[in-house]
């Protein structure tokens, strides 16, 4: 598998923690210039600090992906700083719903759809023209195994991730002849700060999460990052419009 990343440029949203941070660090380790974007200034700056401390090249840009002006500015700053955009990992997302569908609120719906769906759409809206102009590029969007099936007591979240996969597949077909590949990554339960917070609130969730994965454990952010790098690599040159599950076999049951 060819991993010819050196000297290229990647944008990672939600880069301040979890999967986004792990992927930003992995990109940088492969020699990419990384633009780490997050609404969390402290987290995003810490990711950049770690990249730079390891000898990598990185820039932090504060970005709320639900705001078109922020997303537009993020892409403009990327090109103004590094001259191009080769890879985009649209990873920013939230998971705030824990109840039956009829118990959900409009505020929950708007918040989840705003970040998870509108955010991905806005990012691609401004990334795709840049990639067309330069002759190609790769986009990976973060969906979820909840986007490939049902997620009881997380129906809004599940719907948002189904929507991400729909956006991904549609964009992949629209831009396939422009040398732009668009795929989605669909993690199972991953050991992130978000998961740990849920586990602290209800320790049973951690035990259940491990049990539903045939491998008998939850995944790591670094394992998801490796899958993202594969989808961006030349080794995946004939892969587009695909939703790749990284789930320890959960969907195979």
Which residues are known to be catalytic?
Answer: 157
The DSSP secondary structure of the chain, one letter per residue, reads -----TT-EEEEETTTSHHHHHHHHHHHHTT-EEEEEES-HHHHHHHHHHHHHTT-EEEEEE--TT-HHHHHHHHHHHHHHHS---EEEE--------S-GGG--HHHHHHHHIIIIIHHHHHHHHHHHHHHHHT-EEEEEE--GGGSS--TT-HHHHHHHHHHHHHHHHHHHHTGGGTEEEEEEEE-SEESHHHHHHHHH-HHHHHHHHHTSTTSS-EEHHHHHHHHHHHHSGGGTT--S-EEEESTTGGG-
CA distance 88 to 85: 7
Q: Which residue has the tokens 């792990």?
A: 22
């Amino acid at each position: 598998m060819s991993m010819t990343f050196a000297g290229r440029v990647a944008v990672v949203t939600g880069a301040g923690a979890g999967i986004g941070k792990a992927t930003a660090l992995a990109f940088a380790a492969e020699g990419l210039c990384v633009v780490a974007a997050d609404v969390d200034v402290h987290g995003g700056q810490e990711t950049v600090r770690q990249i730079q401390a390891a000898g990598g090249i990185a820039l932090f840009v504060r970005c709320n992906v639900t705001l078109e002006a922020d997303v537009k500015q993020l892409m403009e700053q990327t090109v103004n700083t590094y001259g191009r955009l080769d890879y985009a990992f649209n990873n920013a997302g939230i998971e705030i719903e824990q109840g039956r569908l009829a118990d959900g609120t409009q505020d929950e719906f708007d918040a989840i759809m705003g970040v998870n769906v509108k955010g991905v759409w806005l990012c691609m809206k401004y990334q795709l023209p840049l990639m067309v102009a330069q002759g190609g590029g790769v986009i990976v969007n973060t969906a979820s195994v909840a986007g490939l099936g049902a997620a009881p007591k997380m129906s809004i979240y599940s719907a948002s991730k189904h929507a991400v996969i729909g956006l991904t597949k549609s964009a992949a077909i629209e831009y396939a002849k422009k040398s732009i590949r668009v795929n989605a990554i669909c993690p199972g339960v991953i050991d992130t700060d978000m998961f740990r917070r849920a586990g602290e609130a209800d320790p049973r969730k951690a035990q259940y999460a491990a049990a539903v994965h045939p491998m008998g454990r939850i995944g790591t952010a670094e394992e998801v990052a490796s899958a993202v790098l594969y989808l961006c690599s030349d080794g995946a040159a004939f892969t587009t419009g695909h939703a790749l599950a990284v789930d320890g076999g959960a969907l195979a049951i």
